[in-house]
Amino acid sequence: MMNSRRQWLMLGGVAAAAAGAGAGWKLWRQQQALHIEAADAAALAENGGLWSLSFPQPDGGELSMAALRGKPLVLNFWATWCPPCVKEMPQFDRFARDFASQGFQVVGLAIDGPTPVRQFLAKLPVSYAIGLAGLNGTELGRSLGNARGALPFTVVFDAQGRIRHRKLGETDYEELAGWARGL
């Protein structure tokens, strides 16, 4: 009986040590990823990687990032199932209309499937371009500085394609307008 109990305790200790090592490894990898992603974000934006991408659009056709180069761009990562994303969409729509005359472009990249996005936009249409990034859009967001991969996530680029602002979480019209005025 004692030998069996000792074996279980030893096995439990080994399991706890393995779990601790795994957690430590994960934390180290996350810290490394944060460091790498900050550098990758600038490289992706400034070396043309982002601008070489294109995304299907909900109504058909392709959204070419190259066509957006040379003007300020607000890029918003969102999903139909994300309440703060849905809440801020009218703010982006208002900003897109109000700042278009100043050359600003707004693009929403949906981290979602085409059918839910089409159904959503039928109920809540927006005037700005929407691209279907799917789940791969999460990795694009990470490469632009969203280390957590959470939504909503917004990146503001100046006319030269440099990242000027990043925000994880909900934004509003006044914040967008303030960023635009600061460019």
Range of the domain at 141: 46-181
Does residue 7 sit within a domain?
Answer: no
Q: Answer yes or no: is 128 within a domain.
A: yes
Determine how many CB atoms are found less than 10 A away from the CB of residue 91.
18
CA atoms of 64 and 131, how far apart (whole Å): 9
The residue behind tokens 């005025």 is: 181
Its pTM stands at: 0.75
Q: What is the secondary structure of 13-69 as a DSSP string?
A: HHHHHHHHHHHHHHHHHHHHHHHHHHHHHHHHHHTTTGGG-EEE-TTSSEEEGGGGT
The verdict on residue 129 lying in a domain is yes
> Domain for residue 168, yes or no?
yes
CATH number reported for the structural domain that contains residue 157 in this entry: 3.40.30.10
**Pairwise CA distance, residues 73 & 88, whole Å:** 17
Q: What is the DSSP letter of 119?
A: H
How many domains does the chain divide into? 1
Per the domain annotation, does 23 fall within a domain? no
- What's the residue count for the chain? 183
* Per-residue pLDDT tens over the stretch 57-107: 999 999 999 999 999 999 999 999 999 999 999 999 999 999 999 999 999
The whole-number pLDDT of residue 49 equals 85
Contact assessment for residue 58 and residue 130, using Cβ atoms and an 8 Å cutoff: yes
The better pLDDT of the pair 176, 25 is held by 176
CB-based contact 45:77 (threshold 8 Å): no
Strand partners, 118: none
On whether residue 9 sits in a domain, the answer given is: no
Residue 145 counted as domain residue: yes
Residue 29: what pLDDT? 37
**In this predicted structure, what is the pLDDT of residue 5?**
61
Using N-to-C axis directions, what is the helix angle for 2-46 and 136-143, rounded to 10°? 70
